[in-house]
Amino acid sequence: MPTTVDPAFGALADMCAMATSDKVDETTFCEALFDPESSTPVGLVGPDGETAPKRFSVYRNNVVVSLCDALGDTFPAVKNLLGDEYFGALARAFVTRHPPKSPVLLHYGADFAGFVESFPPLEAYPYLADVARLEWAWLQAYHATDQVPLDPSRLSSVDAQSVGAVRFRRHPAAQVVTSRWPVWDLVRANRFDPSADIQIDLQLAQSVLLTRPELSVDMLLLRPGADIFVCALFDGAMLAESAEAAQKAFENFSLSDCLSDCLSTGAFADLDVA
């Protein structure tokens, strides 16, 4: 794994303008928090009335470390792949460039996969961004709105002539992560099933359907063409046209198997017959 991290500071250092008086305002405090090269603001003192760098560094440390920890909680497979030390450096770089915009930290990290993808030192590990995407999708599924999935018998009750025109509504937790890398194997080996004997074959392209019919998130490895099919259905296309799109891409696409996967995992909330 690479070991260097670009030390440049981004959004925060830019955002916090310079201030000079002994009166310490938020802007001064904030700028000093994110720039370890800057000195402790004059006016923040210890009991002797003197400026106290080590005391101020407690805040510096709390801010950065707690945000890095939050990322580590959201992306444990990425962390495991990179190792604690490298992940810590990567998280620090991300935190300084993309600090959270909301106090609801369970939504922090939406930009992380994109950051990993465009992080030059990680160019040699192109699958990492998709691992992060899958972990982010898992978190969204975990916190998604509760909804009872579509009862599969609803589809059986649609008359044969109308089935092709059925449109499904995506369940709030359901998502597809499409990848040209073995993301399903990587995430299982590095997070959900670390003791399993999983051989990583980087030639393998894997796409995953995430669902949460009740409380736990399920991940299903999609069959060839199924990602095209399910994404088309989630985009509101009719069943017939979604199947056609998948068949065009994969000759052996099995409509009945893929549809049955979707229904049994709770990918849909409802259906409409045209």
Partner 1 sequence: MFPDSPSQTPTRIDASVPARAGAGLKAEHIAEILETSADIGFFEVHAENYMGDGGMPHRQLEAIREKYPLSLHGVGLSIGGEGPLDRDHLQRLAVLNKRYEPGLFSEHLAWSSHETTYLNDLLPVPYDQETLDRVCDHIDEVQESVGRRMLLENPSTYVAFAQSTMSELDFLKEITRRTGCGLLLDVNNVHVSCTNHERSALDYLDAFPIGAVGEIHLGGHAPDQDDAGRPLLIDAHDRGVDQAVWALYEHLIASTGAIPTLIEWDNDVPAWPVLMSEAQAADRILADNSRPSIRRVG
Q: Which residues bind partner 1 (CB under 8 A)?
A: 11-12, 15-16, 22-27, 29-30, 33, 42-50, 52-56, 58-59, 62-63, 66-67, 70, 99-106, 142-148, 172-173, 212, 215-216
CB of 26 to partner 1, least distance (A): 5
Is the CB of 142 or the CB of 192 nearer to partner 1? 142
Is the CB of 172 or the CB of 224 nearer to partner 1? 172
Is the CB of 57 or the CB of 178 nearer to partner 1? 57
Contact between 52 and 44 (Cβ < 8 Å): yes
CB of 211 to partner 1, least distance (A): 12
CB of 182 to partner 1, least distance (A): 27
Q: How many CB atoms lie within 10 A of CB 21?
A: 10
Q: What is the DSSP letter of 188?
A: I
Strand partners, 272: 167
Is the CB of 41 or the CB of 225 nearer to partner 1? 41
Measured CA to CA, the distance from residue 257 to residue 225 in angstroms comes to: 11
CB of 175 to partner 1, least distance (A): 14
CB of 50 to partner 1, least distance (A): 8
Alpha-helix residue ranges (DSSP H) falling in 83-160: 84-97, 112-117, 128-143, 153-156
Q: How many CB atoms lie within 10 A of CB 193?
A: 12
Residues in the chain: 274
Measured CA to CA, the distance from residue 81 to residue 208 in angstroms comes to: 19
Is the CB of 71 or the CB of 232 nearer to partner 1? 71
| Kind plus residue range of the DSSP H or E element containing 168 | strand 167-170
Q: How distant, in Å, are the alpha carbons of 126, 232, 254 from that of 244?
A: 31, 10, 11
214 Cβ contact list (under 8 Å, min separation 6): none
Is the CB of 179 or the CB of 265 nearer to partner 1? 265
CB of 116 to partner 1, least distance (A): 21
CA nearest neighbour of 3 among 107, 87, 125, 128: 87
Is the CB of 46 or the CB of 126 nearer to partner 1? 46
DSSP string, 201-244: -TT----EEEE-SSSS-EEEEPPTTHHHHHHHHHTT--HHHHHH
CB of 44 to partner 1, least distance (A): 4
